[in-house]
A and B are shown apart, each in its own frame.
Chain A
């Protein structure tokens, strides 16, 4: 996953970056599997790697990339970038050092068989409101896309 992430930002060719992102997303799915969440892993593969990345690739291929490939790459903000990265790293280390008690001591031994049922119970029971809000958000996004793409409203 780390290799995939590094390749995303270092490749000149946008399509290679998208493919590296696909590798990173598949690695994420396997991380979910290792955390005893097979349902989430399956849905990650279907939606992210099989749906969203296809749309990414559509856009990259329809927009001409030869010009951007030939442009000289520059990074004149490297000072600010390094300071920001060090600050973020320091933040992570501080959270881990101070807040060790918030992390579980050993891997949760959850039952893997009922992952789908548990997710469904939580999603449609406790978090029903958040579920409906998220679907409303998606509806707004779809309507916006249709309105922008229509010739005549």
Chain B
């Protein structure tokens, strides 16, 4: 028993990702943790989306199922599991079955390289960002297969439109990513890196997040990527291909029950994946705000308190709402449930104050907080912007974002070269 604890604690203080250390057991544990975290995140996103959209539209959202609708995602999951599994007649059975599988596989495999911390990735490939872009482009294939295998015209048109949109915005995304990768090469040896952990370490070494570098070039590249990633995941305002009023749910019309929930899972996972790319490339990954400027022991300790304080804040909100619950005997269970949820959140907050846990979870917290900010922006866009018509969408992808991406790339390369040249002149 003592050896087991020693083994675990010796690994917790290691400085390598499980992939670099070649350790299969810990790689498996990390994969399970990432999968668990992702599932919880998707469930939370489901609830958050309905509640936040509702509050933006001055209504309440789900309130019945649990206290303030907290058990609504579980009810949705049970409903989807129990629904009848329909396959259209004359649909291509094998392709119909494979399509959601491919989309889910592509959306989840991407998380192998996502860097939650300096050693908190499952593995750190040398071509990390290339791998993420490539595997997320495989999900387009799954969508095309889904639309075709349903053997009906709405899904076919929806699938072709959706995949055309995704392919066009991948080009703009790629250009924005390249201009961020250019900025990683402004170091002493003159070589950049494609690995996700390396990109964040380059931001740490250069002392500024890439979104602020060569102002406004980093900002424009980030903006191009932010728009392209919303179009890439088929979310509002670019969701013509799956909007109910246009195409009766597009490529996943003929899917019901569990198969539909796989598409839904893959969509939210893809959202989290491209947000992770944006956070890693432009917003400094797992770095806390001002890692170089406000450095030193006291500032480190102050920023160490943030995770615990956040969870205690959520717990305080839960307790406040518990007090505000209606005092009717039928609401007793809900009130108890909400108070229990608040206690759980408070306990998590208190655990996060404990120094060994806090030191390890610090990076994961900042990364997740930034990705959560992006998720909120996704929901905000859905509640605010009207939908783009398909020709307007394609026009924006090819005629606006692509030239902007090319311009940003050329200007970034020019300014980077100028900076290196001036450094050589002045420091020699």
Q: Known contacts A39-B127, A116-B126; decide if A46 and B134 are in contact (CB<8 Å).
A: yes
Interface residue B144 (Cβ < 8 Å from any Cβ of A): yes
Asked whether B126 lies within 8 Å of A50 as measured between CB atoms, the reply is no
Q: Complex Cα distance A16/B94, Å?
A: 9
Query: Interface code A61-82, partner B: CB below 8 Å = 1, 0 otherwise?
Result: 1100000000000000000000
Q: Complex Cα distance A95/B53, Å?
A: 67
Q: Complex Cα distance A95/B134, Å?
A: 36
Interface residue B103 (Cβ < 8 Å from any Cβ of A): no
Q: Determine the residue in chain A with the shortest Cβ distance to B130.
A: A42
Asked whether A112 lies within 8 Å of B163 as measured between CB atoms, the reply is no
Q: Complex Cα distance A129/B71, Å?
A: 63
Interface residue B262 (Cβ < 8 Å from any Cβ of A): no
Q: Complex Cα distance A54/B164, Å?
A: 9
Asked whether A39 lies within 8 Å of B130 as measured between CB atoms, the reply is yes
Q: Which residues from chain A contact B208 at a C-beta distance below 8 Å?
A: none
Q: Complex Cα distance A99/B156, Å?
A: 52
B129 to chain A, nearest CB (A): 9
Among B98, B127, B135, B137, which residue has its beta carbon within 8 angstroms of that of A51? B137
Q: Determine the residue in chain A with the shortest Cβ distance to B135.
A: A45
Asked whether A50 lies within 8 Å of B148 as measured between CB atoms, the reply is no
Q: Complex Cα distance A112/B145, Å?
A: 35
Q: Determine the residue in chain B with the shortest Cβ distance to A46.
A: B134
Query: Interface code A33-57, partner B: CB below 8 Å = 1, 0 otherwise?
Result: 0000011011101100111011101
Query: Chain A: how many interface residues by the 8 Å CB criterion?
Result: 27
Asked whether B134 lies within 8 Å of A61 as measured between CB atoms, the reply is no
Asked whether B130 lies within 8 Å of A43 as measured between CB atoms, the reply is yes
Interface residue A113 (Cβ < 8 Å from any Cβ of B): yes
Q: Which residues from chain A contact B95 at a C-beta distance below 8 Å?
A: 15-16, 19
Interface residue B60 (Cβ < 8 Å from any Cβ of A): no
A48 to chain B, nearest CB (A): 10
A109 to chain B, nearest CB (A): 16
Interface residue A127 (Cβ < 8 Å from any Cβ of B): no
Q: Determine the residue in chain B with the shortest Cβ distance to A44.
A: B134
Interface residue B167 (Cβ < 8 Å from any Cβ of A): yes
Asked whether B141 lies within 8 Å of A42 as measured between CB atoms, the reply is no
Chain B residues numbered 154-169 whose CB sits less than 8 Å from any CB in chain A: 156, 160, 163-164, 167
Q: Complex Cα distance A13/B145, Å?
A: 13
B412 to chain A, nearest CB (A): 17
Q: Complex Cα distance A13/B95, Å?
A: 11
Q: Complex Cα distance A15/B95, Å?
A: 9
A63 to chain B, nearest CB (A): 12
Among B98, B126, B127, B141, which residue has its beta carbon within 8 angstroms of that of A54? B141
Q: Which residues from chain B contact A13 at a C-beta distance below 8 Å?
A: 92
Q: Which residues from chain B contact A62 at a C-beta distance below 8 Å?
A: 160
Q: Among A42, A49, A55, which residue has the most Cβ atoms of chain B within 10 A?
A: A42
Q: Which residues from chain B contact A38 at a C-beta distance below 8 Å?
A: 125-127
B289 to chain A, nearest CB (A): 31
Q: Determine the residue in chain A with the shortest Cβ distance to B139.
A: A50
Asked whether A61 lies within 8 Å of B156 as measured between CB atoms, the reply is yes
Q: Complex Cα distance A141/B159, Å?
A: 26
Q: Which residues from chain B contact A58 at a C-beta distance below 8 Å?
A: 144, 160, 163-164
Asked whether B144 lies within 8 Å of A112 as measured between CB atoms, the reply is no
Interface residue A22 (Cβ < 8 Å from any Cβ of B): yes
A57 to chain B, nearest CB (A): 5
B159 to chain A, nearest CB (A): 8
Q: Complex Cα distance A53/B137, Å?
A: 11
Q: Known contacts A46-B133, A51-B167; decide if A61 and B141 are in contact (CB<8 Å).
A: no
Q: Which residues from chain A contact B163 at a C-beta distance below 8 Å?
A: 54, 58
Q: Complex Cα distance A42/B147, Å?
A: 27
Asked whether A116 lies within 8 Å of B127 as measured between CB atoms, the reply is yes
Q: Complex Cα distance A54/B194, Å?
A: 25
Asked whether B135 lies within 8 Å of A22 as measured between CB atoms, the reply is no
The 10 closest A-B pairs by CB, nearest first: A50-B137, A42-B130, A45-B134, A46-B134, A42-B127, A38-B127, A57-B144, A61-B148, A42-B134, A54-B140
Q: 8 interchain pairs (CB within 8 A)? A: A39-B127, A45-B135, A51-B170, A53-B141, A54-B144, A54-B167, A55-B167, A57-B145
Q: Measuring CB to CB, which residues of chain B are less than 8 angstroms from any residue of chain A?
A: 92, 94-95, 98, 125-127, 130-131, 133-135, 137-138, 140-141, 144-145, 147-148, 156, 160, 163-164, 167, 170, 191, 194
Q: Measuring CB to CB, which residues of chain A are less than 8 angstroms from any residue of chain B?
A: 13, 15-16, 19, 22, 38-39, 41-43, 45-46, 49-51, 53-55, 57-58, 61-62, 112-113, 115-117
